[in-house]
């Protein structure tokens, strides 16, 4: 379930999870106290204060739980683990220029971590990798003028053709700035 939660669609459902109960309660309270019975309620202030404590506790616990659960899925942490483990990495260097990429290796081995290191030669660009089924796996922001490349480690588990797109608006041909990576399965 967590694997689904920390995807693009998982983010959408998480937003709905926070929104729908709030919107339902909000609508119910406003409707009840304006249309059904707008008279002052007899609810003691102390009871509302207690409810406030419960509400804030629930909100706090949900916020903390979601963010703690997300740690496993943070590319920053995966990158740190890969660096610390000393395991061999496939290295892909790339340079973005309006409106194309220079990519050092376009064929990648499935199941083996890859370090993507990218730079921009002119303006802001992105380097987003899409799964063959259309969902986005990750994106990197490439800013010109920086000494060090933007860099993350990612492991592709399934072979296929992965699309690359620029997701930082870079001018009138931005939508044509695309490329492909091929992930292959090699027998050991």
Tell how far CA 75 is from the center of its chain.
Answer: 9
139 is a site residue for other proteins (CB under 8 A): yes
Q: Which string of DSSP letters, residue by residue, matches 8-67?
A: HHHHHHHHHHHHHHHHHHHHHHHHIIIII--SPP---HHHHHHHHHHHHHHHHHHHHHHH
Output 83 or 185, the one with its CB closest to other proteins: 83
Please tell me whether the peptide bond between 99 and the residue prior to it is cis, using omega within 30 degrees of 0: yes
Nearest CA to 52 out of 40, 42, 63, 43 is that of: 43
Query: Per the structure block, which two tokens stand in for 101?
Result: 């990429």
136 is a site residue for other proteins (CB under 8 A): yes
9 is a site residue for other proteins (CB under 8 A): yes
Interface pick for other proteins out of 1, 46, 86, 145 (rule CB under 8 A): 145
By CB under 8 A, which span of 72-80, 86-94, 104-112, 179-187 interacts with other proteins? 72-80
161 is a site residue for other proteins (CB under 8 A): no
CB of 183 to other proteins, least distance (A): 17
Interface pick for other proteins out of 1, 3, 39, 157 (rule CB under 8 A): 39
Query: Are 120 and 144 within 8 A, CB to CB?
Result: yes
Interface pick for other proteins out of 103, 116, 126, 181 (rule CB under 8 A): 126
CB of 155 to other proteins, least distance (A): 14
Query: Per the structure block, which two tokens stand in for 42?
Result: 């007899």
60 is a site residue for other proteins (CB under 8 A): yes
110 is a site residue for other proteins (CB under 8 A): no
171 is a site residue for other proteins (CB under 8 A): yes
Residue 5: enclosing H or E segment and its boundaries?
helix 2-5
Interface pick for other proteins out of 89, 105, 110, 128 (rule CB under 8 A): 128
């Amino acid at each position: 379930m967590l694997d689904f939660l920390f995807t693009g669609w998982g983010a959408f459902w998480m937003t709905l999870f926070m929104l729908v109960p709030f919107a339902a309660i909000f609508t119910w309270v406003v409707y009840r106290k304006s249309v059904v019975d707008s008279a002052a309620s007899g609810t003691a202030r102390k009871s509302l204060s207690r409810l406030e404590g419960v509400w804030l506790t629930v909100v706090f616990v949900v916020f903390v739980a979601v963010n703690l659960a997300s740690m496993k899925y943070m590319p920053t942490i995966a990158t740190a683990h890969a660096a610390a483990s000393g395991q061999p990495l496939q290295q892909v260097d790339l340079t973005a220029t309006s409106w194309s990429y220079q990519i050092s290796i376009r064929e990648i081995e499935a199941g083996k971590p890859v370090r993507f290191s990218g730079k921009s030669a002119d303006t802001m660009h992105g380097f987003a990798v899409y799964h063959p089924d259309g969902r986005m796996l990750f994106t990197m922001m490439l800013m010109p003028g920086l000494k060090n490349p933007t860099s993350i480690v990612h492991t592709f588990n399934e072979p296929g053709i992965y699309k690359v797109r620029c997701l930082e608006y870079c001018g009138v041909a931005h939508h044509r700035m695309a490329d492909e990576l091929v992930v292959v399965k090699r027998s050991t």
